[in-house]
Amino acid sequence: MSASKDWREAIIDREIEAFCKRYEGQQKTVEEWQILRDQLERDMNRRYGSLLFA
Amino acid sequence: MANYKHCRVRGNFYFEISGYDPHTLELLADFNTMRSAEQRQAWEQGVSGDRRLTHAEQVLAIAITSHLNLRTQRCFPDQERLAARLGKSERQISRLIKKLEAMGWLGVTRHNYRGGMGHRGQLANDYRPLVPEDLKDAIGLHLADTECRTSANRMVDILSSNGGHLGGHMADIYMSDQPGISQPVSSQLVGQTDSDMEDGRPSGGERNGPAALKQRSDPARPSYLPGERICSAREFFTLPGRRIRFYDAGVNVDAEIERFCCHPMNPRARTVDQRDQAQLAWIANIGGTA
């Protein structure tokens, strides 16, 4: 695994951790989480300039 | 023929699909071989609902499959016995069997043999119950249509029970201090601004009252439908295929990092020993949050 891929994994881990912390204790259906996840992905694309994520 | 009713589903002009329960329809749509009493019952219901068949043909089909051995799949009643049971001639039985075969409800394997001394004859046919392929397609379309409608109705229920939001949290994603990020959807809906928000959520409004807010923030709210899977965010991300993926757009990220690290304006990248700190700075730079 290249160094850059490690960094990208680290970014994903960090974003997922922040997401989980934000919705700590909340229960939703898988479909609802999927919608929120897609929103997070789009938001990350905006913030990271479409460089790393889809 | 005048009583035939045209249904909405394509190719379903001879079969009233909506008159059957979903489980029977699933059994018919997935019908391959008759292995259980449940499949036998569904098949008999299917045959009896085919409006192209006469009463005699329907009864004959059910009489033939009553001879089917579910374990060995053998079914070979002789036509003489069938004729005696139904009170028809063998010629009539043969004609009705051909009709059932043509309609796709019955598969027939005929055994002819040639004995010695030029003697020719016919053994009893082997029968296997089938479901017409066009009916399978029509049932499949009907079930898919029903599933879509159920999902759509459920989505409407979710939206209406949450004041126009999917749980009210989609809008939170738009809450960002980054420039160029749009306003939260919830504020657009109820005409609020950021200053009216409490904890990133709308504080009032007709469609965002205290009850709706309580439901959204209630961690132990009930499932919308029986059997629906409810989980936390951490559990969700452990499900297969839910993790956020990489996007390979042809950008050499290694080169990007190298360029940043070696940029003369970056004071932390002038020595190789400071490369790690420079990489951290690059991550913080593109992410906005270190």
The ipTM of this complex is 0.83
Whether residue A4 and residue B254 make contact (CB cut-off 8 A), yes or no, is: yes
Among A5, A6, A7, the strongest candidate for a mutation testing the B interface, having the largest count of B CBs within 10 A, is A7
Q: Which two tokens stand for residue B92?
A: 């009539």
Q: What is the pTM of this model?
A: 0.43
Whether residue B246 and residue A8 make contact (CB cut-off 8 A), yes or no, is: yes
Q: Decide: B193 and B187 in contact? Cβ < 8 Å.
A: yes
Q: Which of B64, B70, B100 is nearest to B85 (CA)?
A: B64
Helices within B50-118 (DSSP H only):
55-65, 79-86, 90-103
How far is Cα A44 from Cα A48, in angstroms, rounded to an integer?
A: 6
Q: Decide: B261 and B271 in contact? Cβ < 8 Å.
A: no
Kind and range of the H or E run holding B185: helix B185-190
How far is Cα A26 from Cα B220, in angstroms, rounded to an integer?
A: 7
Q: What is the pLDDT of residue B61?
A: 93
Q: Decide: B109 and B103 in contact? Cβ < 8 Å.
A: no
Smallest CA–CA distance, residue B141 to chain A, in Å, is 23
Smallest CA–CA distance, residue A38 to chain B, in Å, is 9
CB-defined contacts A:B, below 8 A: 126
Identify which of A2, A23, A48 has the shortest CB distance to residue B286: A48
Q: At what angle do helices A30-47 and A3-22 cross, to 10 degrees?
A: 130
How far is Cα B146 from Cα B180, in angstroms, rounded to an integer?
A: 41
Whether residue B253 and residue A7 make contact (CB cut-off 8 A), yes or no, is: yes
Q: Decide: B185 and B170 in contact? Cβ < 8 Å.
A: yes
First to last CA, chain B: 75
Whether residue A12 and residue B244 make contact (CB cut-off 8 A), yes or no, is: yes
How far is Cα B52 from Cα B259, in angstroms, rounded to an integer?
A: 76
The alpha carbon of B17 is separated from its chain's Cα centroid by a whole number of angstroms, namely 18
DSSP one-letter code for A53: B
Do the bridges between strand B106-109 and strand B126-129 make them parallel or antiparallel, or are there none, so unpaired? Answer: antiparallel
Percent of chain A clearing pLDDT 90 (strictly above): 6
What number of other Cβ atoms are within 10 A of residue A48's Cβ?
18
Phi, psi of B267 (to 5 degrees): -70, -20
CA angle B278, B280, B286 (to 5 degrees): 100
What does the pLDDT look like over B186-203, one tens digit per residue?
333 333 334 444 444 444
What number of other Cβ atoms are within 10 A of residue B197's Cβ?
17
Smallest CA–CA distance, residue A32 to chain B, in Å, is 7
Calculate mean pLDDT across residues A31-43: 85
Q: What is the mean pLDDT of each run of 10 residues along chain B (290 residues)?
A: 44 71 86 88 89 89 91 89 91 92 90 67 84 83 72 63 48 37 37 40 42 45 61 87 66 61 56 59 56
What does the pLDDT look like over A15-35, one tens digit per residue?
899 999 999 888 888 888 988
Strand runs (DSSP E) across chain B, as ranges?
106-109, 112-114, 120-122, 126-129, 197-198, 201-202, 230-231
B289 or A38, higher pLDDT: A38
- How would DSSP label each residue in A25-45? T--EEHHHHHHHHHHHHHHHH
